[in-house]
């Protein structure tokens, strides 16, 4: 007889950029009344998982509290400054040093193992950064689908010389922010980035960490670590982008470009106040720099001055976290065209609104793809690592401009970039053209169809 129980287990770290696309996908399966859905992530996302049970239930499986080393949101200010410094390589090195912690990954591995023992999933859907989940699926022989919220080359390009990759040898390494094709000097810089990445694992400190990781993997019956192993062992890779938002190369057949993961809109229909305010405006600049960005008092004051100089032409809607709002000048001195919110109930609803004309963003993978999905041109203030990669692609594809001095938020620089993007029709036209391609890729519906067609979910014969 056929057995109907074929659980799907979603696994992700709690960061919005990684978790949100999977929440949208799990919600879509719930909407289609797919049974036996489970979602494993850290405790702070429990309520978010509860909210996506719109049809069949999605069960929350706790992976415990957030591990500081694995979550950029919880890094202290000293680490934050290190991973967001202006040197692309030093910032990349800092991210690796602070997140490559075999012992902390092992903790999550064991917590997830207990969940897997309970759920006994037929298929796992894993964000591409959750290496502990990929390792567990591999060691247990559980088929898995990888979720990639970045441009495709981010997970298909080798970081080290002679390393396996799916992109050409001269392709820009992730986190370099280099264009393609490159000048001779840029090619040299790209090659040095690879060699310096290799060299940083040869220091006495990192050699001990590598040895610890090797012992851990051996204990679980895993082979030598390789970034491409997560791709090679995956049954399917769902990338939340499209080929036209990356530099051209041959994408492997197992990677399916489904576009941005966007839920049915409006996502927050109860938010009447913000919607009415947007309706009443003629032109709105939306500024949202992600959940990781920490602005200084000087940077906050610069943003206020940017809004002041735009008064009479554009309104500015700024998502500024409550813990940074004490850096604002006194309320009576704020310009009338500036509206700040500690949290926007749905960034997607804001980006979809016709009165929003440009997205001022940090350039993370989700923001890059979501802004374009709604046909909005971008001005990018890159924060760290992959943000520079999205920024250079957006510039080259004519959908965005990047600040010259992003760390300072120079007022004249910001005004120049915003004005040029707003007043040059080609930015909007290119964004709308690529947005149409994003929407045509199918997003959550295409991803759900691909998942449900996986052989692991076929009824088992008893």
Residue 1 pLDDT more than 50?
A: no
- pLDDT, tens digit, 9 for 90 and up, residues 201-230: 999 999 999 999 999 999 999 988 788 999
Q: What are the tokens at 420?
A: 């040029």
Residues of the chain with CATH 3.40.50.2000: 2-259+441-461, 272-440
Between CA 222 and CA 219 the distance in angstroms is 8
pLDDT band of residue 462 (cuts 50, 70, 90) is very low
pLDDT at residue 459 greater than cutoff 80: no
CA 316/CA 288 separation, integer angstroms: 11
Q: CA-to-CA distance for 451 and 444, rounded, in angstroms?
A: 10
CA 121/CA 142 separation, integer angstroms: 8
Task: Say how far apart CA 378 and CA 109 lie, in whole Å.
Answer: 38
State the Cα–Cα distance between residues 243 and 250, nearest whole angstrom: 10
pLDDT reading at 127 higher than 50? yes
334-345, pLDDT tens digit by residue? Answer: 999 999 999 888
The three-class DSSP label of residue 346 is: coil
Do the beta carbons of residue 362 and residue 383 sit within 8 Å? yes
Strands 37-41 and 58-62: parallel
Strands 338-341 and 58-62: unpaired
CATH 3.70.10.10, domain 2-259+441-461, yes or no: no
C-alpha span between 383 and 387 (Å, rounded): 6
- At 135-153, the pLDDT tens digits run 999 999 999 999 999 999 9
Q: What's the whole-number average pLDDT of the chain? A: 94
Which tokens is 4 given? 């109907």
Q: Taking CA 18 as the corner, what is the angle to CA 100 and CA 417, rounded to the nearest 5 degrees?
A: 100
pLDDT tens for each residue of 68-126? 888 888 899 999 999 999 999 999 999 999 999 999 999 999 999 999 999 999 999 99
CA atoms within 13 A on the CB side of 212: 14
pLDDT in tens, 410-421: 999 999 999 999
What is the pLDDT averaged over residues 310-338? 96
Pair 47, 39: CB distance under 8 Å: no
* E-strand stretches of 107-203: 123-127, 144-148
272-440: CATH topology is Rossmann fold (3.40.50)
Q: What DSSP line would sit under 315-341, residue for residue?
A: EEEEE--GGGGGGSPPGGGS-TTEEEE
Instruction: Give strand pairing partners of 402.
Output: 380
Strands 8-11 and 37-41: parallel
Pairing of strands 284-288, 8-11: unpaired
On the question of pLDDT at 244 being above 70, the answer is yes
pLDDT at 183 over 70: yes
The CA-CA-CA angle for residues 11, 12, 13, to 5°, reads: 145
């Amino acid at each position: 007889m056929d057995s109907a129980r074929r659980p799907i287990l979603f696994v992700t770290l709690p960061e919005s950029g990684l978790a949100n696309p999977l929440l949208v996908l799990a919600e879509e399966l719930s909407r289609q009344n797919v049974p036996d859905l489970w979602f494993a992530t850290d405790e702070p996302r429990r309520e978010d998982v509860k909210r996506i049970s719109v049809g069949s239930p999605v069960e929350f499986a706790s992976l415990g509290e957030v591990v500081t080393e694995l979550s950029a949101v919880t890094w202290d200010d000293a680490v934050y400054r290190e991973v967001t410094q202006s040197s692309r390589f030093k910032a990349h090195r800092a991210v690796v040093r602070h997140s490559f912690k075999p012992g902390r990954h092992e903790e999550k591995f064991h917590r997830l193992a207990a969940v897997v023992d309970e759920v006994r999933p037929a298929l796992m859907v894993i964000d591409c950064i959750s290496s502990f989940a990929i390792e567990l699926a591999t060691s247990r022989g559980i088929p898995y689908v990888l979720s990639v919220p970045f441009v495709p080359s981010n997970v298909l390009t080798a970081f080290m010389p002679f390393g396996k990759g799916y992109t050409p040898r001269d392709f820009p390494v992730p986190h370099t922010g280099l264009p393609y094709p490159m000048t001779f000097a840029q090619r040299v810089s790209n090659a040095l980035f690879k060699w310096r990445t290799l060299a940083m694992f040869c220091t006495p400190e990192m050699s001990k960490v590598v040895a610890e990781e090797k012992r851990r993997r051996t204990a679980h019956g895993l082979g030598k670590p390789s970034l491409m192993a997560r791709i090679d062992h995956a049954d399917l890779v769902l990338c939340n982008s499209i080929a036209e938002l990356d530099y051209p190369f041959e994408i492997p057949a197992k990677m399916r470009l489904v576009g941005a993961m966007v839920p049915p809109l409006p996502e927050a229909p109860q938010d009447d106040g913000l919607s009415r305010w947007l309706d009443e405006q003629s032109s709105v600049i939306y500024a949202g720099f992600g959940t990781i960005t920490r602005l200084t008092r000087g940077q906050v004051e610069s943003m206020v001055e940017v809004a002041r100089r735009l008064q009479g032409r554009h309104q500015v809607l700024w998502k500024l976290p409550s813990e940074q709002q004490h850096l604002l000048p006194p309320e009576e001195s704020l310009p009338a065209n500036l509206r700040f919110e500690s949290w926007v109930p749905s960034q997607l609803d804001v980006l979809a609104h016709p009165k929003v004309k440009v997205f001022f963003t940090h350039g993370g993978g989700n923001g890059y793809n979501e802004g374009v999905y709604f046909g909005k041109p971008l001005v990018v203030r890159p924060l760290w690592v992959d943000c520079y990669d999205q920024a250079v692609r957006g510039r080259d594809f004519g959908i965005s401009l990047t600040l010259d001095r992003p760390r300072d938020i120079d007022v004249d620089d910001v005004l120049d970039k915003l004005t040029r993007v707003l007043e040059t029709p080609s930015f909007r036209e290119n964004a709308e053209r690529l947005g149409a391609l994003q929407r045509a890729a199918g997003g959550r519906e295409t991803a759900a169809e691909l998942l449900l067609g996986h052989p692991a979910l076929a009824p088992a014969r008893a």
